[in-house]
């Protein structure tokens, strides 16, 4: 539930690590991540986008959430780690309401970052109010600023960095539990070479929030491909949820494709799953501080 996940973020803020939030579209990639996280003795935060839920439910996102929720829970019971589900980049209020009523996800991201500031505040606030009215045990993530790239329901052509003072006003007015910020990362496979990462800006946003008594965990989207040193700097500046999708999808698909090309009778998925296990596990080398080694980076 959301309160348990909130404890993980408290820990992350205190010790300076980040929890990887990995997208899944179907069970294969999930299998890889689950085993990778268990090997690293790390909690695991899985994410479903609206598109992934719709796919899993054969065009019905609510059925998709139920199906994946049951699947995740059944597999997670085999492991001794905390497994959480976040609903990533949501924008459909009806679906969000169903998510809260079902009580499956531990957190929900409302993404109205493409809207003008006032609309973004109003839409994000509406989700927080819905949560409060239902007394739902779920965290609400909202986003301010725009990240370049395509994320299935939302597309941004240009990046807009998050403004620290606006971030304070946004968190204050929406009451969101987590804040996704734009500090130069991009979504997806085709990341430009023009990435201008601004960990310093994450630090300014964190500081501005703290100056106003707000201890909101920050979220980095589009984290696939961010170099370990750059990521470490982000983690030192209040980022404690690191969204990665492309990296694991890529490892899985590339491995399966290579095997098939090598030998067209090679059509069994486990090797791709193994590649994701290794990738997740190796990513844990990105821990910012070996003294408080936490593999959840
Ligand atoms: O919300 C999902 C992440 O922002 C995924 O970004 O595919 O570039 O890692 P990525
Ligand atoms: Zn994202």
pLDDT above 70 covers what percent of the chain? 90
In-domain check, residue 209: yes
Question: Is the overall model pTM greater than 0.90, yes or no?
Answer: yes
Q: Which of 88, 111, 283, 294 is catalytic?
A: 88
Query: Within a domain: residue 85?
Result: yes
Instruction: Kindly identify the ligand whose nearest atom is closest to the C-alpha of 223.
Output: 1
Q: Which residues line ligand 1 (CB under 6 A)?
A: 23, 88-89, 151, 187-188, 221-224, 243-247
Q: What is the ipTM of this complex?
A: 0.99
Other Cβ atoms closer than 10 A to 257: 11
Q: Tell me if 139 is assigned to some domain.
A: yes
**Residue 297 belongs to some domain of the structure:** no
Does residue 163 lie in a domain region?
Answer: yes
Domain-embedded: residue 147: yes
Please check whether residue 247 lies inside any domain of the structure.
Answer: yes
* Contact indicator for 256, 272 with CB cutoff of 8 Å: yes
- CATH code, domain with 139: 3.20.20.70
Q: Which pLDDT does position 288 carry in this prediction? A: 35
How many domains does the chain divide into?
Answer: 1
Give, using CA atoms, the residue closest to atom 10 of ligand 1: 222
Q: Does 185 fall in a domain?
A: yes
Q: Which of 180, 223, 250 to mutate to test the pocket of ligand 1 (most atoms within 8 A of CB)?
A: 223
**Euclidean distance between CA atoms 39 and 102, whole angstroms:** 30
Range of the domain at 237: 2-292
What are 81-117's pLDDT values in tens digits?
Answer: 999 999 999 999 999 999 999 999 999 999 999 999 9
Mean pLDDT of all residues in 149-175 = 82
- DSSP codes, 152-181: TTEEESS-BPPPHHHHHHHHHHH--SEEEE
Taken in order 33, 79, 296, 180, is the CA torsion positive or negative?
A: positive
């Amino acid at each position: 539930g959301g309160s348990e996940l909130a404890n993980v973020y408290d820990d992350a803020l205190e010790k300076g690590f980040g929890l990887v939030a990995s997208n899944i579209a179907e069970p294969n990639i999930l299998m890889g991540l689950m085993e990778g996280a268990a090997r690293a003795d790390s909690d695991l935060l899985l994410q479903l986008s609206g598109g992934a839920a719709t796919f899993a439910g054969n065009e019905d996102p609510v059925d998709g959430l139920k199906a994946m929720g049951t699947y995740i829970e059944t597999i997670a019971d085999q492991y001794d780690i905390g497994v959480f589900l976040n609903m990533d980049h949501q924008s459909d209020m009806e679906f969000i309401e169903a998510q809260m009523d079902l009580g499956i996800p531990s957190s929900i991201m409302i993404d109205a970052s493409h809207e003008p500031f006032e609309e973004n505040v109003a839409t994000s606030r509406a989700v927080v109010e819905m949560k409060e009215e239902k007394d739902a045990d779920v965290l609400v993530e909202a986003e301010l600023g725009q990240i370049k790239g395509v994320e299935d329901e939302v597309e941004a052509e240009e990046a807009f960095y998050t403004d620290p003072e606006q971030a304070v006003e946004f968190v204050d007015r929406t009451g969101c539990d987590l804040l996704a910020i734009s500090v130069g990362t991009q979504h997806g496979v085709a990341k430009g070479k023009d990435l201008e990462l601004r960990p310093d800006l994450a630090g300014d946003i964190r500081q501005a929030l703290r100056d106003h008594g707000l201890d909101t965990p920050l979220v980095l989207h589009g984290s696939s491909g961010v170099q370990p040193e750059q990521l470490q700097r982000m983690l030192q500046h209040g980022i404690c949820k690191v969204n990665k999708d492309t990296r694991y999808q890529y490892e899985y698909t590339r491995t399966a494709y290579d095997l098939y090309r090598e030998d067209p009778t090679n059509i069994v998925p486990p090797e791709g799953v193994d590649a994701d296990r290794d990738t997740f596990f190796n990513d844990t080398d990105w821990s910012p501080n070996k003294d408080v080694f936490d593999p959840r980076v």
